[in-house]
A and B are shown apart, each in its own frame.
Chain A
Amino acid sequence: MEVSWALLANAVIAGLLLGGFYAAMSVGISISFGMLDVVNIAHPAFIILGSYIAYIVNDRFGFDPIVVSLVVSPLFFLLGAALYRVYYYCFERRGQESLRGLAFFFGILFITEVALVLVFGVDYRMVSSRYGDVTWRAGAVDFPMRLVVPFLVAMVMVIGVQLFLTHTFFGRAVLAVAQDQLALRLMGVNPVRVKELAFAISIATAGVAGAFLIVIQPVQPAIGREFIGLVFAVCVLGGMGSIWGTLLGAFVLGLAESFTSTFFGPSWAPAVSFGLLLATLAFRPSGILGR
């Protein structure tokens, strides 16, 4: 019986650590999909792009992947701003976002994936870091550093985003856009500029989450699409447009996946997010903390 308690404790810890990482991946979707109503299904493609940038710099110069991702996050910010511009002028302004906007992001996802395959091939890539192989032990419970370090940085990032949204002028403008765009227009604010900034932030978080991903596991171009269901599941599960909800949803999903892979085998774990997504959509579409 003692062994299974240790197993349980390990599953809980692994689930929570994984949940922190999922929150980092999903916080961008929570902004773009939950607040701006931009259904960016290409979000995981930017996560994978972030992984590969961290990989290249780590491979050439040996810098820490997470530090690299923080340094290049302004590039992702600019990329996000440019992408939103295109999206706005081609789809949102014409009221065609529902079908053609989705197809557009799907095309971006696909192009990124194929381009990465053409450049790097389909081999799994990994990074080397000082904490990659270190594991703390507290009794029978393992704290693998390759999960702990991303978890800590992810928490700082997610809480930072939440503080930015609630405590700065611009952050509150983003929340206002989420509530009522027309009212914002009547106050003399251009909602497009606000949305551009917020979307740029969401892509910047994707780039950083990409570095977490490649620290946690080896990365290959096609694994991005496995996370599409996951990030949307987290976003919907917690409640659309709520960062605390996203954090909660991420922990729930992390624990559910960790238990599934401990007790049913790791090959079933990716199916959990879809099950949770469907169950949420069917029974409580507004999510746990939904308005």
Chain B
Amino acid sequence: MSNRIFAVVALAVALALAAVTQLIPNEYFFSAAYTVLLFVILATAWNILGGYTGYVNFGSAAFFAIGAYTTVFFYNAFKAPLPVGIVAGTLVAGLAGLGLGYLTLRLRGVFFAIASLALAVVLYIFVVNWDYVGGARGAYVLQPRDVPFGLPRYIHLIYAVQLVMAAFALIVARAIEHSTLGRGLAAIRDDELAAECSGVPTLKLKIFSTMVSCALMGMAGTTFPYYLSYIEPSSVFSLSYAVNSIAMPLIGGMMSWMGPLIGAVLLGTVQQLVQVTVSSAWNLLIVGVLLVFFVTLAPNGIMGWVDAWRRKGR
């Protein structure tokens, strides 16, 4: 399937899903589905750098928070509507990724990983000390009273927007995967020295994929302040975003765009169920245990099982 056809199909599916599910009477569905879609975007974004290029980003929460706080900033400064927040948040997160990548990607991959983790801590401190976006008290973002497209409540709109953005993230991921760029990234993942020797511009490609990955993570965060109407630093910078965005591609499979999607839908849904029935601390423990289980015993994830089963069938 060519990228253009895939893009049309993905967007059509997203819009159709958004339209059909509006009939569901249960309000909780939209809130739960919003969270699962948020993880679909984060996992897909993480996989562009982690799965395709082989560089671990522990700072998903930082880029997610950059998206969320850019929305808050533009809301406070200009009462900017949601689309402005989405575009601005995506760009700012992409620039932050560019800067981090430029400083640390020349060195061994571990330094990038450590720096991304430390970045999350420092940005957290920065936001806590920055009163304009609420500081440690948090910030309110009021949902507009009249909802466009004749939707009954604002959460319905946010959910539909998130659905389209998830489709967009998948389109970007698949386009990268099926391009010369994607093959360059795969070469870096398998043997960076050999790739460099064969003329692959490794540093440029790494920085580019970091930028795209971080921008998409930021995009996932832009709708978040509207979703809750109130955000505060410790929930936005929660380590659970970082863990989930690593665990989901690992569990689904990191080699194709389908892996993070499967992982995020599966793990996201399980978490929503556990959160409602048991508690949120247990729900995090489950993610951690599943992450360690899959990484030690099933390193290729669910898609790895599918591939093995297909090969056996032949």
Interface membership of chain A positions 248-276, coded 1 if the CB is closer than 8 angstroms to chain B and 0 otherwise = 00000000000000000001101101110
Q: Which residues of chain B come closer than 8 Å to A267, judged between CB atoms? A: 125, 128-129
B129, B246, B284, B285: which contacts A103 (Cβ < 8 A)? B246
B6 at the interface (CB under 8 A from A): no
A90, A99, A229, A281: which contacts B50 (Cβ < 8 A)? A99
With both chains docked as a complex, state the minimum distance between the C-beta of A185 and any C-beta of chain B, in angstroms.
22
Q: Which residues of chain B come closer than 8 Å to A232, judged between CB atoms? A: 114, 118
A229-B121 in contact given A41-B114, A99-B56, A278-B103 (Cβ < 8 Å): yes
Q: Which residues of chain A come closer than 8 Å to B291, judged between CB atoms? A: 103, 106-107, 110
**Interface residues of chain B: helix, strand, loop or mixed (majority):** helix
A90 to B298, CA, bound (A): 10
With both chains docked as a complex, state the minimum distance between the C-beta of B286 and any C-beta of chain A, in angstroms.
9
Q: Is the CB of B285 within 8 A of A282?
A: no
A39, A96, A270, A274: which contacts B113 (Cβ < 8 A)? A39
B20 at the interface (CB under 8 A from A): no
Q: Is the CB of B292 within 8 A of A111?
A: yes
A96, A107, A115, A274: which contacts B292 (Cβ < 8 A)? A107
Q: Which residue of B lies closest to A227 (CB)?
A: B121
Q: Is the CB of B121 within 8 A of A98?
A: no
Q: Is the CB of B285 within 8 A of A268?
A: no
A72 at the interface (CB under 8 A from B): no
Interface membership of chain A positions 279-290, coded 1 if the CB is closer than 8 angstroms to chain B and 0 otherwise = 001100100000
Which of B58, B281, B289, B295 counts the most A-chain CB atoms under 10 A from its CB? B295
Q: Which residues of chain A come closer than 8 Å to B299, judged between CB atoms? A: 96, 100
Stretch at the interface among B85-93, B104-112, B170-178, B212-220: B104-112
With both chains docked as a complex, state the minimum distance between the C-beta of B252 and any C-beta of chain A, in angstroms.
13
A104 to B298, CA, bound (A): 12
With both chains docked as a complex, state the minimum distance between the C-beta of A253 and any C-beta of chain B, in angstroms.
13
Q: Is the CB of B118 within 8 A of A104?
A: no
Q: How many residues of A contact B (CB 8 A)?
A: 42
Q: Is the CB of A277 within 8 A of B243?
A: no
A111, A222, A228: which contacts B285 (Cβ < 8 A)? A111
B54 at the interface (CB under 8 A from A): yes
Q: Which residues of chain B come closer than 8 Å to A96, judged between CB atoms? A: 299
With both chains docked as a complex, state the minimum distance between the C-beta of B194 and any C-beta of chain A, in angstroms.
14
B115 at the interface (CB under 8 A from A): yes
Interface membership of chain B positions 232-253, coded 1 if the CB is closer than 8 angstroms to chain A and 0 otherwise = 0000000100110011001000
B305 at the interface (CB under 8 A from A): no
Interface membership of chain A positions 213-235, coded 1 if the CB is closer than 8 angstroms to chain B and 0 otherwise = 00000000010011011001100
Q: Is the CB of A114 within 8 A of B285?
A: yes
Q: Is the CB of B122 within 8 A of A271?
A: yes
For window 106-164 of B, CB contacts with A under 8 Å fall at 107, 109-111, 113-115, 117-119, 121-122, 125-126, 128-129
Residues of A within 8 A of B (CB): 33, 39, 41, 86, 90, 96, 98-100, 102-104, 106-108, 110-111, 113-115, 117-118, 222, 225-226, 228-229, 232-233, 236, 267-268, 270-271, 273-275, 277-278, 281-282, 285
12 new A-B contacts, CB < 8 A, other than A103-B291, A111-B288, A268-B125, are A39-B114, A103-B246, A103-B295, A106-B242, A106-B243, A107-B292, A110-B284, A110-B287, A225-B239, A229-B117, A277-B114, A278-B103
